[in-house]
């Protein structure tokens, strides 16, 4: 491995800056807020995260300066666990993949920090907000920069914690606190899968079952991503209960990814997570944390490529989620809920990408999604800000003229997510769908077509629900009450600045990954090539050819236009009457979509209620059986101690009393000797002396 990477000493600074920011704001932030002012908390947080960005950019430039095969910076901080042949270090790696993630996290995260300064200015505990936000940046950077799976898991848990803290930021509201708990618990289920995957992986690499029993391997065990790229080959052929071990590991890890990245069946927490402050929704629940699952699969591409079954499951789940969430997005009335389901849907696209082996396309979509979805969320925050906290789009309308910057940036991001050329998602989503269509599936031959079909319908749906949102929110007459309408105003500069930058990135961000068809250099794919080339080489094209690719691309654009036209037809000019007429005709379907297919209710009935019933049953057992047993034990102890006490009282104490009484009785008689008369004593003394003399005489005589 020597000569393939550079050892550097500064990567640890990238997560370190936000950690310091979090500590400063967390410990003395309240004091600064009171004594100096809220702006200082914001400045501290911003300085921390932008310092990270600059460091990351320096690392990125170093990478660019290297030969493609040597593009890897490693910063070994210290050895964390060293048990026998098992080595885990706290070390950070920046290769092309983690460089992309780091820049997205610090860059988009930095813009959201700037935006937050304006957004959170009216809150009571600004210091707490920025402390959490920086802590999140720290955990996320540990996640993406970690050199090994265990350290990644530390970051993985860290972002989960911060997500919980920030969703429940306004914990005075019980609903919001509950949403935080829901996110935490659902993520915990996923994390169980992740942890199980790690353990399976360790177990698989540490040895194997032979005819003589389990044999530990002799070699040094390592969770290092670069080392594992070679050592996972040892998993080939191993099985657990007749299933390939690689599949078991990949599926377990994917369960973790469905929790963190909100896929079926664990997506339910993400829409509820919108209870948090809007910039948090943009940063954690759209741009960065929820993409951790995609990143993890891309990071472990060499492992997933070993299990076509697991890949098929990932792609299938992604496609299903993409469509499922899009259809829920059709009917939601809360602006943030629409965007939340849109996020779930877009994450589905990313999983299609990594699931069909198009890791580059998946990561590319991850990046462009970070731009346009952050822009959309921040835009929605700006809208909510303007509407004095109103989130129901049916009570908005006609905002186009009143908050122009928000409108235009929102529109650009909408065009981007809908897949209109030349905006960002056109390139990334198209690449995913094309790869989904073209990559052969060795397990189920018709799988690519099914995935592609679901994805394409989801893309159509994306365009529809996004334009529905735009039309209802920004066009037509304002449906707000007089009071709110009077207050509508454009957001402060810090907020619009972030919006403009993100809108710009949503526009040009896709240009670095232009498909081969245009005969322009695909910088992004070229950049990630060193990470994925080995895995990519194992995939086979179905040989659909350039003509088909052109055709599909045109079809994608057609879908985007179709979605837009459908939305314009129904909601054009911000009208709701047509929509209501349609809804009246498909009342049943509408209700299913509006109530999110009753999945929450289903989980409540199938998982939560039985669980509560179980706890009640256990409580009953506790009260009636365990407590009785405890009481019985107590009663037995009491009885025994009573018995013991009686022995003490009557036998031991009795003996002691007898001795005492005897002595007292003896004293009563003996005291009479003490007459107090001097001459009685003298008599006794003389008698004694005489006795001694007599005795000594006698003894002398006998001797």
Tell me the window of 254-262, 575-583, 589-597, 673-681 that interacts with other proteins (CB under 8 A).
673-681
Kindly list the distances between the CA atom of residue 694 and the CA atoms of 42, 689, 699, in Å, as whole numbers in the listed order. Answer: 111, 8, 9
Count of Cβ atoms closer than 10 Å to residue 156 Cβ: 28
The secondary structure of 641-692, three-state, reads HHHHHHHHHHHHHHHHHHHHHHHHHHHHHHHHHCCCCHHHHHHHHHHHHHHH
Does position 587 bind other proteins by CB under 8 A?
no
Query: Minimum distance from CB of 685 to other proteins (Å)?
Result: 10
Nearer to other proteins, 81 or 685 (CB): 685
Tell me the window of 178-186, 293-301, 649-657, 682-690 that interacts with other proteins (CB under 8 A).
682-690
Nearer to other proteins, 658 or 694 (CB): 694
Count of positions (residues) in the chain: 703
Distance between CA atoms of 581 and 140, rounded to whole angstroms?
46
Beta strand extents in 242-360 (DSSP E only):
243-244
Query: Minimum distance from CB of 674 to other proteins (Å)?
Result: 6
Query: Minimum distance from CB of 683 to other proteins (Å)?
Result: 6
Query: Minimum distance from CB of 686 to other proteins (Å)?
Result: 7
Evaluate whether 438 touches 306 at the Cβ level (below 8 Å).
no
Does position 64 bind other proteins by CB under 8 A?
no
Cβ partners under 8 Å of residue 228, min gap 6: 149, 205, 222, 300, 302, 303
Does position 122 bind other proteins by CB under 8 A?
no
Query: Minimum distance from CB of 688 to other proteins (Å)?
Result: 14
Task: Return phi, psi of residue 146, to 5°.
Answer: -60, 145
Token pair, residue 405, equals 């910057």
Count of Cβ atoms closer than 10 Å to residue 374 Cβ: 31
Tell me the window of 11-19, 241-249, 428-436, 677-685 that interacts with other proteins (CB under 8 A).
677-685
Cβ partners under 8 Å of residue 434, min gap 6: 515, 549, 552, 553
Does position 679 bind other proteins by CB under 8 A?
yes
Nearer to other proteins, 569 or 674 (CB): 674
Does position 671 bind other proteins by CB under 8 A?
yes
Does position 676 bind other proteins by CB under 8 A?
yes
Query: Minimum distance from CB of 648 to other proteins (Å)?
Result: 35
Does position 683 bind other proteins by CB under 8 A?
yes
Does position 677 bind other proteins by CB under 8 A?
yes
Query: Minimum distance from CB of 666 to other proteins (Å)?
Result: 15
Distance between CA atoms of 103 and 109, rounded to whole angstroms?
9
Nearer to other proteins, 558 or 692 (CB): 692
Query: Minimum distance from CB of 701 to other proteins (Å)?
Result: 21
Nearer to other proteins, 585 or 671 (CB): 671
DSSP 156: H
Query: Minimum distance from CB of 653 to other proteins (Å)?
Result: 29
Nearer to other proteins, 678 or 699 (CB): 678
Token pair, residue 354, equals 């990594």
Query: Minimum distance from CB of 638 to other proteins (Å)?
Result: 48
Does position 547 bind other proteins by CB under 8 A?
no
**Strand-pair partners of 91:** 76
Closest CA to 530 of 140, 15, 96: 96
Does position 694 bind other proteins by CB under 8 A?
no
The secondary structure of 402-463, three-state, reads CCHHHHHHHHHHHHHHHCCCCCHHHHHHHHHHHHHHHECCCCCCCHHHHHHHHHHHHHHHHH
Nearer to other proteins, 241 or 678 (CB): 678
**Strand-pair partners of 94:** 73
Nearer to other proteins, 682 or 693 (CB): 682
Query: Minimum distance from CB of 681 to other proteins (Å)?
Result: 10
Provide Rg for the chain, Cα atoms: 37
Nearer to other proteins, 608 or 690 (CB): 690
Task: Please report where in the chains the tokens 């925050």 appear, as a residue.
Answer: 381
Does position 674 bind other proteins by CB under 8 A?
yes
**Strand-pair partners of 74:** 7, 93
Does position 667 bind other proteins by CB under 8 A?
no
Does position 7 bind other proteins by CB under 8 A?
no
**DSSP-derived secondary structure for 182-249:** HHHHHHHHHHHHHHHHHHHHHHHHHEEEETTEEEE-SSPEE-BHHHHHHHGGGGTT-EETTEEHHHHH
DSSP 541: B
Nearer to other proteins, 449 or 681 (CB): 681
Query: Minimum distance from CB of 668 to other proteins (Å)?
Result: 10
Interaction mask 615-654, other proteins, x per CB under 8 A: ----------------------------------------
Task: Return phi, psi of residue 683, to 5°.
Answer: -55, -45
Does position 688 bind other proteins by CB under 8 A?
no
Nearer to other proteins, 546 or 673 (CB): 673
Tell me the window of 276-284, 380-388, 501-509, 678-686 that interacts with other proteins (CB under 8 A).
678-686
Closest CA to 217 of 232, 227, 207, 228: 207
Does position 678 bind other proteins by CB under 8 A?
yes
Tell me the window of 56-64, 356-364, 601-609, 668-676 that interacts with other proteins (CB under 8 A).
668-676
Task: Return phi, psi of residue 224, to 5°.
Answer: -60, 135
Query: Minimum distance from CB of 633 to other proteins (Å)?
Result: 56
Q: Is 179 helix (H, G, I), strand (E, B) or coil?
A: helix
* Residues near other proteins (CB under 8 A), total: 10
Distance between CA atoms of 497 and 342, rounded to whole angstroms?
24
Closest CA to 462 of 297, 330, 363, 296: 330
Distance between CA atoms of 106 and 113, rounded to whole angstroms?
10
Query: Minimum distance from CB of 702 to other proteins (Å)?
Result: 26
Does position 519 bind other proteins by CB under 8 A?
no
Does position 686 bind other proteins by CB under 8 A?
yes
Task: Return phi, psi of residue 375, to 5°.
Answer: -60, -45
Tell me the window of 402-410, 430-438, 553-561, 670-678 that interacts with other proteins (CB under 8 A).
670-678
DSSP 387: T
Query: Minimum distance from CB of 694 to other proteins (Å)?
Result: 16
Query: Minimum distance from CB of 673 to other proteins (Å)?
Result: 10
Nearer to other proteins, 209 or 681 (CB): 681
Distance between CA atoms of 227 and 221, rounded to whole angstroms?
9
- Subset of residues 477 to 506 that bind other proteins, contact rule: CB under 8 A: none
Nearer to other proteins, 243 or 686 (CB): 686
Among 523, 581, 682, 691, binds other proteins (CB under 8 A): 682
Residues that bind other proteins (CB under 8 A): 671, 674-679, 682-683, 686
């Amino acid at each position: 491995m020597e000569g393939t990477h550079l050892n550097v000493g500064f990567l640890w600074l990238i997560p370190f800056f936000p950690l310091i920011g979090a500590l400063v704001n967390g410990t003395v932030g309240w004091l600064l807020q009171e004594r100096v002012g809220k702006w200082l908390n914001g400045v501290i947080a911003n300085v921390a995260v932008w310092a990270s960005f600059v460091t990351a950019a320096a690392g990125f430039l170093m990478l660019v300066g290297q030969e493609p095969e040597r593009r890897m910076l490693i910063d070994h901080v210290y050895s964390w666990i060293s048990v026998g042949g098992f080595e885990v270090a706290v070390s950070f790696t920046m290769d092309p993949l983690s460089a992309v993630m780091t820049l997205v996290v610090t860059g988009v995260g930095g813009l959201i920090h700037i935006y937050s300064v304006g957004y959170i200015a009216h809150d009571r505990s600004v210091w707490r907000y920025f402390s959490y936000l920086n802590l999140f940046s720290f955990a996320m950077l540990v996640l993406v920069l970690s050199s090994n799976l265990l350290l990644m898991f530390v970051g993985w848990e860290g972002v989960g914690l911060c997500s919980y803290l920030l969703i429940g930021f306004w914990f005075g509201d019980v609903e919001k606190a509950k949403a935080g708990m829901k996110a935490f618990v659902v993520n915990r289920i996923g994390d169980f899968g992740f942890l199980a995957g790690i353990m399976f992986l360790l177990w698989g690499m540490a040895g194997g079952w032979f005819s003589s029993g389990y044999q530990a391997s002799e070699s040094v065990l390592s969770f290092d991503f670069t080392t594992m790229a070679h050592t996972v080959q040892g998993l080939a052929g191993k099985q657990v209960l007749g299933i390939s071990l690689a599949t078991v590991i990949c599926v377990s890890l994917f369960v973790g990814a469905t929790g963190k990245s909100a896929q079926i069946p664990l997506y339910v927490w993400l829409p509820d997570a919108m209870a948090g402050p809007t910039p948090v929704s943009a940063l954690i629940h759209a741009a960065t944390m929820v993409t951790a699952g995609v990143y993890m699969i891309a990071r472990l591409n060499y492992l997933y490529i070993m299990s076509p079954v697991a890949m098929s499951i990932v792609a299938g789940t992604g496609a299903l989620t993409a469509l499922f969430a899009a259809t829920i997005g059709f009917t939601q009335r809360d602006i943030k809920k629409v965007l939340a389901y849109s996020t779930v849907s877009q994450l589905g696209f990313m999983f299609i990408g990594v699931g069909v082996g198009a890791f580059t396309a998946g990561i590319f979509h991850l990046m462009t999604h970070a731009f346009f979805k952050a822009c959309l969320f921040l835009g929605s925050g700006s809208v909510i800000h303007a509407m004095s906290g109103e989130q129901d789009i049916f009570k908005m309308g006609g905002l186009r003229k009143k908050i122009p910057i928000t409108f235009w940036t929102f529109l650009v991001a909408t065009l981007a997510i809908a897949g209109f050329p030349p905006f960002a998602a056109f390139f990334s989503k198209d690449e995913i769908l094309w790869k989904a269509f073209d990559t052969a599936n060795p397990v189920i031959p018709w799988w690519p077509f099914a995935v592609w079909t679901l994805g394409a319908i989801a893309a159509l749906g994306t365009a529809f629900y996004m334009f529905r949102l735009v039309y209802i929110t920004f066009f037509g007459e304002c449906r707000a009450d007089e009071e709110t309408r009077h207050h509508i105003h454009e957001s402060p500069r810090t907020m619009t600045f972030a919006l403009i930058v993100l809108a710009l990135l949503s526009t040009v961000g896709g240009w670095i990954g232009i498909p081969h068809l245009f005969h322009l250099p695909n910088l992004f794919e070229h950049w990630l090539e060193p990470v994925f080339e080995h895995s990519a080489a194992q995939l086979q094209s179905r040989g659909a050819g350039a003509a088909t690719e052109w055709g599909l691309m045109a079809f994608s654009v057609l879908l985007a236009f179709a979605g837009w036209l459908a939305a314009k037809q129904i909601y054009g000019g911000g009208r709701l009457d047509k929509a209501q007429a349609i809804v009246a005709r498909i009342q049943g379907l509408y209700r299913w979509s509006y109530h999110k297919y009753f999945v929450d209710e289903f989980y409540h009935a199938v998982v939560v209620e039985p669980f509560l019933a179980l706890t009640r049953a256990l409580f009953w057992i506790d009260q009636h059986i365990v407590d009785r047993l405890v009481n019985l034990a107590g009663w037995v102890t009491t009885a025994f101690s009573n018995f013991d006490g009686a022995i003490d009282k009557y036998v031991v104490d009795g003996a002691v009393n007898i001795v005492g009484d005897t002595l007292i009785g003896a004293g009563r008689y003996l005291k009479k000797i003490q007459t107090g008369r001097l001459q009685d004593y003298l008599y006794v003394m003389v008698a004694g002396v005489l006795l001694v003399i007599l005795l000594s005489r006698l003894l002398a005589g006998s001797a």
